[in-house]
Structure 1
Amino acid sequence: MKRFLTVFFFLTFFSLFSQTKVGGIVLDESGSPIAFANIFFKNSTDGTITNDNGRFYLESENTYSTLLVSFIGFETMELELPQKVNYGLEIVLKESTEQLKEVVIYTGKQSKKNNPAIDILKKIWAKKRENGVRKFKQYQYDKYEKIEFDLNTIDSALIKSKLFKGLEFMFDNLDTSRVTGKTYLPFFLNESFSRVYGDNQLEEEKEDVQGNKNSGFEGNQSITAFVEDLYSDYDIYDNYLKFFDKSFTSPLSKTGVDTYNYVLSDSAYIDNKWCYNIIYYPRRKNELTFKGDFWVNDTTYAIKNINMQVTRSANINWVKEIYIEQDFEVVNDSVFLLKRDYMLSDFSFSKKEKSRGVYGKRTTVYDNYAFDLKRPEEFYKAESDPYDPRVFSRDSVFWNNARLESLSDDESGIFKLLDTLKTVPKFRTYYDIVSILGSGYIEIDKWNIDIGDIYSTFGFNDAEGARIRGGARTYFGQNDTWRLEGYMAYGFSDKKFKHGLSGKFLLDRKTRLILSGGNRRDIEQLGLSLTSTSDVLGRSIASSSLVTVGANDRLTNINLSTLNLEMEPLKNFRIRLGSSFRTLSSALPTAFSLDYIDPESPTGTSSEVKQLDLNTTLIYTPGKRTIGYGVERSNINDDHSTLVLNYTKGIQGFLESDFDYERLQFSYQQPWQVGGFGRLTTSLELGKTFGEVPLSLLSVIPGNQTLFSLYNTFPNLDFYEFVTDTYATLHLEHNFNGRLFSRIPLLRKLNLREIVGLRGAWGQLSDENIALSAPTNIPLVAPEDQIYWEYSFGVGNIFKILRIDFNFRGNYLDNPNARPFGITGTFGFNF
């Protein structure tokens, strides 16, 4: 789409004072685009390569008058630049008549044998652990990070559209991307400055945040958490690089020779070091790979600089471009240290060239390295407080000294622009709509209350029929030290009101001592989890699903009250002491009985259980990262393991509690990034109940009669089909992220993703517990004779939002109403 002419001339005029910019396309003599051609400013190392369609964009803060364009098999072209800004260039390369003497290069797939580029790559592998800060016992450095979001592909149609009527002043701060050549408007900027300390002998690292400055959506914790997760740290020497929860094969990976083509393209002095230039590009389409080039030193085999661009065909959603640059500083003859890291992501609903989107850019600059300054181990154990109010209130003098890279005029203007936008009602309306869709809550700033969540408003089940629910929570800010939340619900068939109320209070921020409690009186689908529900605000999908498989009538009336005290004495290690009192009875007694033998009852049986439990829970989540310091924090990453040990003591007699028992449970969940083969999620759970308890207090193997794919449940089991007092379950689910489908020509372009699952459960149920619950009208069976198991095959990324799983039952096919096959699905926006 053509850019707005006025904006184009404005950018051209403005750039005359500071930058050289070029953009266009490189073709061969037949008019076909040349992909991966080298584009450089003459007498510089500022360069890029053409994309799959032969297009390029390049800019530099310096002034250059000549452009060099080259590609193996073609004559190098020197193109004079008549002005500092040259767009729309059409460059035609002629085939070379000279044969290269040193290196024989083939078009298309490159040979793995007798390829000098691969010989150099092998030496990089051998030396990679000897480069950078790993060479020293201890290290420290300053780190300045700048994260920015921009609205891109701005043209006259967008500026004049009704969407931005009254907001035209926003476009006074337009700039042009040096990577894509597109016009963009900055609207979010976050700066941080840290000092990083590390000890390779102790294998410890500590980051001390000195300052943090935010413009834009500083009040929205979910956006901030998304940004933090999006731009996690990475090391180009690793075999696989994780971006957007996906594992990309690094061009420096030991498996790279099977994934990339490598070409030794050039050699030159860079900072007085002789370096080789190697171009790389994927061997196959639709895989999670990059294209680009890197310069590597001829003696240390350390990377001097590298650029990586994700190919358009890569199986990733909502991201049109990912571009990465890293520059390394030569400290002495043998030490190359990371100096600057730049990453640009172009988020868009479409990968078409003219589609609009949002740039996400991170620039990290490293400086003031120092080495071999030994510090005691206690220094690394003592964590600094990244939420110290002083960190967020640094003055301009601090930032002038802390910025290792100055802000551009456009970046500096973001702060003023956002301050102005917040006063414009139309912009506030847009922001509110996006916030509601993202969080599910409607903000009422006047009362510091949020209404919601809106996604729980409607439901249906056999006991209540159609049901509606409305709720609210207090919200003064993302770091509230206390929060109250509640809801009311009404069922149109049983004509009863239900409610839930919860309160959380942060008593001590350092140890994260939290007091919480609440009450819920509602209808619940128990048996979706092996642990007893303690969520006073929970609403089971199964108990309010619009469509279910089979009879969904095994529902329970629950009146639950809880009181808990939680603390985090060590990072990612929580201790929770709690108590709960619950009253349980069947919501549909004729279809699902919870009766049990009760000698003290006049009838000899009782249909209601009153139970007081005391709980002690230990939760360990190594590697988990969070943001915020209030009573509720947001998770940044999901690649950490979770270990839970829970002990429950049932108290008899007090508050008319019915049963005395003990329960011990352990669970371990771990996601694994299996190189370039996708992501494996494993979940193991063990448990045993000591003492006699009725059906409502036993451990039910989680079935799933909904049409939703729910992890940690068994989609071919009905609710309460297996009941245990001793159990072990294992869930395995692997998402190949399209690696297999990308090898099939007919499926390659669909960017589908294959998921396989395997699930198993074993359990026992004592004769005493069976006898205690004998009045129930459902069979009490445990998978003791053989392990119950299921397997599934799934296809994900259908239309980018849909996943469908085909689930197969492995055994126990003779059980009443056993379902040998089922289909479940789920919607979601995943990269």
Structure 2
Amino acid sequence: MKQLLFPILLLLSTVLHAQTKVSGLVVDESGAPVSFANVLFKDSSVGTITNDDGRFYLESENTYNTLEISFMGYRTRELPLATKVNYNLKIVMEEASENLKEVVVYSGKQSKKNNPAIDILKKIWAKKRRNGLRMFEQYSYDKYEKVEFDLNTIDSAFMKKKVFKGLEFVFQDLDTSRITGKTYLPIFLNETFSKMYGDNNFNEEREVVIGNKNSGFSNNQAIIAFVKDLYTPYNIYDNYLKFFDKSFTSPLSTTGIEVYNYVLADSAYIDNKWCYNIIYYPRRKSELTFKGDFWVNDTTFAIKKIDLQVTKSANINWVKDIYIEQEFDVVNDSVFLLNRDYLMSNFSLRKKEDTQGVYGKRTTVYKNYNFDRPKPKEFYKVKGNVYNPEVLDKDETFWQTNRLEPLNKDEKGIYQLLDTLETVPKFKTFYNIVSILGSGYVEVPKWNMDIGDIYSWFGYNEAEGVRLRGGARTYFGQNDPWRLEGYLAYGFTDHKVKHGFSAKWLLDKDTRLIVSGGNRRDVEQLGISLTATNDVLGRSIASSSIVTVGSNDRLTNINLSTFNLEFEPVTNLRLLTGVSFRTLSSALPDAFSLDYVDPSSPTGISSVTKDFEFNSTLIYTPGSRIIGYGVERRNINDNYSTLLLSYTKGMSGFFGSGFDYEKFQFSYSQPWQLGGFGRLLSSVEVGKTFGTVPLGLLSVVPGNQTFFSIFNTFPNLNFYEFVTDTYASVHLEHNFNGRIFSRIPLVRKWNLREIVGLRGVWGELSDANKALSSPTNIPLMAPTDKIYWEYSVGVGNIFRIFRIDFNFRGNYLENPEARPFGVTGSFGFSF
């Protein structure tokens, strides 16, 4: 999160002029807007589609004298353009009549039968796996990518705001978007030049980044990570295209005929190839679909050009528009290869036409294709997520040589203005505020330290009462080879000081060999996770919830010391090994006991558990993408699976530890993007403890007495309601992303999202473990006779930030204080 909002505060001014600009409104004879009408410059393939309100904007660097407007069921209009700039036109379309010389007239929903556009679409499906790069065994090419962010819809009132006092010089010149016709001000630019290699026999691809440049952030991996996550790769031939964690149905999808109307609108030569023009638009509102058109070759049925624009009613937050253009080069009679890819997003708090926001624009140019030059399979097996700092240190000569598309005046001005902005005190103040909000830390550069995080300073629980916490960490830069971090906390009820301290040191960048250690002495809600980690700075939300269901008094005093080694022998495979020593005791002994039978104690009972253990863990995250090369790195995607295998050996006799045991644990979590049906999140956990251990070392089925929806917990279970030494659990949660609500007229405009969940756990607890912890004052039960299960239904995206889940308990209703029903929720900003 650090500095993610920082680019929004950067300002500059330049100007870029197009030769022909036109905007307007297309209506029918009654004055109703005509949505999805085709608008283009006559005798060209330069065009656009009107939006849901019938409005359009079109721009070209060439000069055109006539505008052509057409739509199914209406007579085609040709409108002379008196000047190069024609704004706010109102174009009235006349309904087509029988005596017009129309070959075929389409209107409204199109038939799926006897439709020539769908016949062509089926031929695209048949050929798509033999088009483009798939036609060759090996391939390589150069890729140049630039990502730009712009403030948009800038007017005089916006420029006169007090926040810009002293920064007025950035508004000297503004330009107009060629897509929307709105004024904009470029504020950030990122450039990347890469060499791409692929082998279709191995189904492998590798990107070698040669250079990367940010406007004012020559080494800022936070910005790079944000950009990479924002614009993930896509292929228009795929059935579903993923943008902002949502799966949109591609107009070329084999399921497209269920959600789109298709119309064969035109045919023409493009680059000496005869192509058909097909217009498409959605059959229903509020679904994740596009509108636009594409040109397809009549023999290879390869796409020559395609435009996609997200419909205004699509169920996506904070994004008002998404517009995509792709152009393909004709290499020979049968090969069409992607030449240029342009994507523009309009981020805004509201979808109203005059709302100010931020354009995010990505332009990718592909050149210098080579084929059938094999490389060994080992070439594609990169060792670790290696990040080379040299790619951030390329001079202007490198960029002049390797930019596959030159910068325009706007983009050049971004680099020129930053030096001036960084000398303005007010700009520095803006930076500090946004940096604190984005990262949670207050930077103190002269001490090379960050204070925070500010979001964990307050807490409350029944043992500590009101709790205040303050912390700090060393910070010389984002790729620090070592880091120290710690905190102090104080409870106003128990009048005790708590602390946590951690140290990490990266010994070898190639193998990612890291040594770490630390100590934590605090109050914690244990049993919130089956596969808990030995994080000396971690703390669950259940430990500080101000309001809980029932008494949240089963809290534990923990004193934990750890020492660990970690390394990454191959990409996304981490091996961790270490030792830890902990002492555990109840924070509220009258309400919650951790007592166990101890023959060596004078009373025969001990209240403090001491445990020394050796732990070895393997974590594999295939598909994870990570950026950075310091001791702490950043993940830039969330659509990967996680496999964890852990072995723990408890050893008695060390530092007073009295327990010999072995514990094996395995967990597997996987998000599944199920096309137009939404996103499924799944998790499986199994584990077994061999040996006799007290309650504090057993595997507690994670209950949840908070009002927060927490995945991998059981919201209708109380803390410590089920305790096991052998367990297996499954959690499933599916978000339909509004697919059902979008078909209900009364609620479709609210853009709600339906969520269902199912979870279950089975476990055992041996008689020996029950006997050892028999002095405790809580029941010792495991869900052995039958699987404990719950289900839930929820509604998300309420006011775009809230989610509510209604949770139902399936069985074990006879348990003491069993909760058959509960309501949990969460809030957050998501697309």
TM over 0.5: yes
Give 1:101 deviation, angstroms: 7.0
Following superposition, the deviation at residue 77 of structure 1 comes to: 2.5
1:476, distance to aligned residue in structure 2 (A): 1.5
Q: Is the 8 A contact 1:209 1:386 kept in 2?
A: no
Q: 1:818 to 1:31 in 2, by over 3 A?
A: same
Q: 1:329 is matched with which residue?
A: 329
1:637-786 pair list within 5 angstroms: 637-786=637-786
SS of 2:258 mapped into structure 1? helix
Equivalence for 1:552: 552
Give, as a single letter, the amino acid of the residue that structure 1 aligns with 2:581: F
How many equivalent residue pairs? 819
Residue number in structure 2 paired with 1:49: 49
Q: Which runs of 5+ in 2 are unaligned?
A: 1-12
Tell me the CA shift for residue 150 of structure 1.
0.7
Please tell me the residue identity of whatever aligns with 1:296: V
Q: Quick one: which amino acid aligns to residue 782 of structure 1?
A: A
C-alpha contact 1:709 1:805 (8 A) present in aligned 2: yes
- Give distance in 2, aligned partners of 1:105 and 1:589: 81
2:471/2:486 contact within 8 Å kept: yes
Q: Secondary structure at the match of 2:768?
A: helix
The amino acid that maps onto 1:581 is F
Query: Structure 1: how far apart are the matches of 2:19 and 2:209?
Result: 33
**Quick one: distance in 2 between partners of 1:97 and 1:476?**
73
Structural mapping, 1:496-535, within 5 Å: 496-535=496-535
| Matched letter for residue 364 of structure 1 | T
Which residue pairs with 2:355 in the alignment?
355
Residue range with higher mean Cα deviation, 64-73 or 364-373: 64-73
Give the equivalent residue in structure 1 for 2:85. Answer: 85
**Equivalent position amino acid for 2:818 in 1:** A
Q: Distance in 2 between matches of 1:476 and 1:103?
A: 70
Matching residue of 2:6: none
Cα contact 1:136–1:372 (8 A) shared by 2: yes
1:576 aligns with 2:576: yes
Q: Secondary structure at the match of 2:774?
A: coil
Measured after TM superposition, the shift of residue 428 of structure 1 is 2.1
Report the secondary structure of 1:505's partner residue: strand
Instruction: Report the equivalent of 1:298.
Output: 298
Output one character per residue of 1:795-822: Cα deviation in whole Å (capped at 9) or x when no partner.
1001111001000000000000000000
Among all aligned residue pairs of Structure 1 and Structure 2, give the percentage whose two residues are the same amino acid.
74
Given the alignment of the two structures, is residue 200 of structure 1 paired with residue 197 of structure 2, yes or no?
no
Map of 1:445 onto structure 2? 445
Give the C-alpha shift of residue 213 in structure 1. 0.7
1:199·1:205 contact (CA, 8 Å) conserved in 2? yes
Provide the TM-score with structure 1 as the length reference.
0.97
Q: CA deviation at 1:532?
A: 4.0
Kindly state the Cα deviation for residue 716 of structure 1 after the two structures are TM-superposed.
Answer: 0.3
CA distance in 1, matches of 2:164, 2:492: 44
SS at match of 1:745: coil
Whole-angstrom CA distance in 2 between matches of 1:665 and 1:183: 57
Q: Distance in 1 between matches of 2:172 and 2:387?
A: 34
> Counterpart of 1:331 in 2: which secondary structure?
strand
Secondary structure, in 3 states, of the residue corresponding to 1:647? Answer: strand
**In 2 relative to 1, CA 183–656 (structure 1 residues): closer, same or farther, beyond 3 Å?**
same
Query: How far apart in 2 are the matches of 1:421 and 1:386?
Result: 33
Deviation at 1:173, TM superposition (A): 4.6
Q: Is the 8 A contact 1:186 1:410 kept in 2?
A: yes
Shift of 1:674: 0.9
Of residues 99-108 and 24-33 in structure 1, the stretch that sits farther from structure 2 once superposed is 99-108
Match of 1:3 in 2: none
User: How far apart in 2 are the matches of 1:594 and 1:105?
Assistant: 79
Contact 1:219 1:477 in 2 (8 A): no
Alpha-carbon distance in structure 2 between the residues aligned to 1:433 and 1:600? 58
| Corresponding residue number in structure 1 for 2:408 | 408
Contact map agreement 2:741 2:753 (CA 8 A) in 1: yes
Cα contact 1:174–1:410 (8 A) shared by 2: no
Distance change in 2, residues 1:64/1:102 (3 Å): closer
Change (3 A) 1:91 1:236: same
**2:385–2:626: 8 Å Cα contact kept in structure 1?**
no
Of stretches 538-547 and 799-808 in structure 1, the one that deviates more from structure 2 is 538-547
**Distance between the aligned counterparts of 1:25 and 1:102, measured in 2?**
24
Distance 1:22 1:36, change over 3 A: same
Give the letter for the 1:764 counterpart: E
Q: Aligned partners of 1:640 and 1:789: how far apart in 2?
A: 26
Structure 1 residue aligned with 2:627:
627
Could you say which residue in structure 1 is the equivalent of 2:456?
A: 456
Which residue is equivalent to 2:797? 797
Select between 640-649 and 88-97 the one with higher mean Cα deviation: 88-97
Aligned match of 1:807: 807
Give the residue type in structure 1 aligned to 2:168: E
Structure 1 position 228 matched with structure 2 position 228: yes
Amino acid at match of 1:304: K
- Letter of the structure 2 residue corresponding to residue 538 of structure 1: G
1:146 to 2:166 alignment: no
The whole-number CA distance in structure 2 between the counterparts of 1:466 and 1:492 is 6
Change (3 A) 1:300 1:168: same
**Aligned residue number for residue 423 of structure 1:** 423
Classify the secondary structure of the residue corresponding to 1:398. helix
**Cα distance in structure 2, aligned partners of 1:686 and 1:26:** 61
1:432 Cα deviation (Å)?
Answer: 2.1
Rounded to whole Å, the distance in 2 between the matches of 1:576 and 1:172 is 56
1:306-317 alignment, distance < 5 Å: 306-317=306-317
Please list the CA deviations of residues 439-466 of structure 1 after superposition, one character each: whole Å capped at 9, or x if unmatched: 2111112212111111111111110111
Deviation of the 1:106 alpha carbon: 2.9
**Which residue number in structure 1 is paired with residue 821 of structure 2?**
821
**How far apart, in 2, do the equivalents of 1:289 and 1:452 lie?**
42
Deviation sequence 1:203-230 (CA, Å, 0-9, x none): 1211111111111455654443222111
Q: Give the direction of change, closer, same or farther, for the CA distance of 1:533–1:136 in structure 2 (3 Å limit).
A: closer
Letter in 2 for 1:691: G
Q: Is 1:111 aligned with 2:100?
A: no
Deviation at 1:389, TM superposition (A): 2.9
- Give the corresponding residue for 2:537: 537
Structure 1 residue 648: Cα displacement: 0.2
CA distance in 2: counterparts of 1:688 and 1:112, whole angstroms: 56
Letter in 2 for 1:477: G
2:10 is matched with none
The one-letter code matched in structure 1 to 2:501 is L
- TM-score, normalised to structure 2's length? 0.97
Contact in 2 for aligned 1:103/1:264 (Cα 8 Å): no
Question: 1:461-492 deviations in whole A, cap 9, x for unaligned?
Answer: 11011111111111121111111111000000
Residue 187 of structure 1 contacts residue 418 of structure 1 at CA under 8 Å; is this kept in 2? no
CA–CA distance in 2 between the matches of 1:820 and 1:750? Answer: 30
Distance in 1, Cα, partners of 2:51 & 2:773:
69
Distance in 1 between the 2:250 and 2:528 partners? Answer: 41
CA contact (8 A) 1:619 1:643 kept: yes
Q: Secondary structure at the match of 1:262?
A: strand
**Residue range with higher mean Cα deviation, 377-386 or 86-95:** 377-386
Q: Distance in 2 between matches of 1:759 and 1:218?
A: 46
Pair 216,152 (structure 1): closer, same or farther in 2 beyond 3 Å: farther
> What is the letter of the counterpart of residue 300 of structure 1?
T
User: 1:4 maps to which residue?
Assistant: none
Q: Residues 99 and 576 of structure 1: is their aligned pair in 2 closer, same or farther, counting only changes over 3 Å?
A: farther
Encode CA deviations 1:504-560: one digit per residue, 9 max, x unaligned.
111111111111111000000000011344111112211111000011000000000
CA distance in 2, matches of 1:153, 1:15: 16
**1:5 aligned partner:** none
Distance of 2:323 and 2:806 partners within structure 1: 37
Do the aligned residues in 1 keep the contact of 2:731 with 2:758 (CA within 8 Å)? yes
Q: Is the 8 A contact 2:384 2:569 kept in 1?
A: no
Cα distance in 1 between the residues matched to 2:276 and 2:143: 29
